[in-house]
Chain A
């Protein structure tokens, strides 16, 4: 794959999935559009987690068995898993990525093409509710993003389709 160079060694998280890991692991998820990549990190224990969520709210969707699919249900799930790995709740910080609007000026039949914005709003709300500080974000816009979390220092590499790379 042309664009995915440099992340062959990283653990991949697919749509509506999540992974938790410890340094020196690298966790990546590819091609976030309106979906939201949620990164939680405990800098002292160097335990990190990444989820690729599709929808903002679980109760609004009929097909809702998979908790990792929804922003509001995956955040508590990530915290729970990180605590099992030995992270401490009060040390966890968050970063969010994605939530773009890939098609402009057009809402689709159910307004779903604006779901990126809703995902971002939901994530901010839920994180606030849980008292998890949001320390970085790269959201919105019209571009897809691939993100790679380096669990050894909590840094997140964001790559867009035109090969621009930034660290958050």
Chain B
């Protein structure tokens, strides 16, 4: 396995700041969508190797709901994952729709599209903040939702990164929604090339 290409401390700080701004925008977007007074605490923003993602959950077999979106423009590509442990995603959709999880067919098309929209807004806000930061227009793909084992969902996408390296830099944001204690993670995984683009545009060596 190739060793992780570790950026300088200055670069890490710049990335963390970028993550902070992006995540701030993202969770504000979520609070607006839910139209409820919600305390959103960002508990951490960090830079981690991809494999560690499993440690935030109950290992590769834990049941999660994932919204996957790609942000891209010329010379830039990043994958965004909004990951909730499955019960938390259920609670979030309850909160947004007023449905009850006791309802039959709770996870119908409507619930899935609500979750997609949550992903859209959060990732969109993140990417908007990022595009200001790197001074270029970023497009975003249509959101995809999958409820399955964490490892199974991630491998489909990380297979792409692994063509170049067994590691990647991940900006991780953990947040909780006020009294409901809804916990989620937002991961931003830029390609190595995109990282260089980011550093270049913000002038950090």
Shortest Cβ distance from B77 into A: residue: A109
| A interface bracket (residues with beta carbon within 8 Å of B) | 35 or more
Taking the complex as formed, is A25 at the interface, i.e. its CB lies under 8 A from any CB of chain B?
no
Please report the total number of B residues contacting A with Cβ < 8 Å.
34
Chain A residues whose CB sits within 8 angstroms of the CB of B61 once the complex forms = 1-4, 30-31, 146
B interface SS class: mixed
| Beta-carbon contact of B164 and A102 below 8 Å | no
Chain A residues whose CB sits within 8 angstroms of the CB of B163 once the complex forms = 55, 61-63
Residue from B62, B63, B162, B164 having most chain A Cβ neighbours under 10 A: B162
| Beta-carbon contact of A161 and B157 below 8 Å | no
CB within 8 Å of A: which B158-192 residues: 159-160, 162-166
A interface SS class: loop
Chain B residues whose CB sits within 8 angstroms of the CB of A35 once the complex forms = 155, 159
Alpha-carbon separation in the docked complex, A112 to B158 (Å): 9
Shortest Cβ distance from A163 into B: residue: B63
Alpha-carbon separation in the docked complex, A3 to B61 (Å): 6
Taking the complex as formed, is A140 at the interface, i.e. its CB lies under 8 A from any CB of chain B?
no
Of the listed stretches B18-26, B31-39, B138-146, chain A binds B138-146
A1-44 near B? 1/0 per residue, CB < 8 Å: 11110000000000110000000000000111111000000000
CB within 8 Å of B: which A51-95 residues: 54-55, 61-63, 65-66, 69
Q: Output the least CB separation between A155 and chain B (Å).
A: 20
Alpha-carbon separation in the docked complex, A32 to B63 (Å): 13
Checking B77, B152, B160, B165 against A145 with a beta-carbon cut-off of 8 angstroms, the contacting residue is B152
Alpha-carbon separation in the docked complex, A65 to B166 (Å): 11
Which residues of A are in contact with B by a Cβ distance under 8 Å? 1-4, 15-16, 30-35, 54-55, 61-63, 65-66, 69, 100-104, 106, 108-110, 112-113, 115-116, 142-146, 161
User: Could you jot down 5 A-B contacts, CB within 8 Å?
Assistant: A31-B152, A33-B149, A33-B151, A102-B152, A161-B147
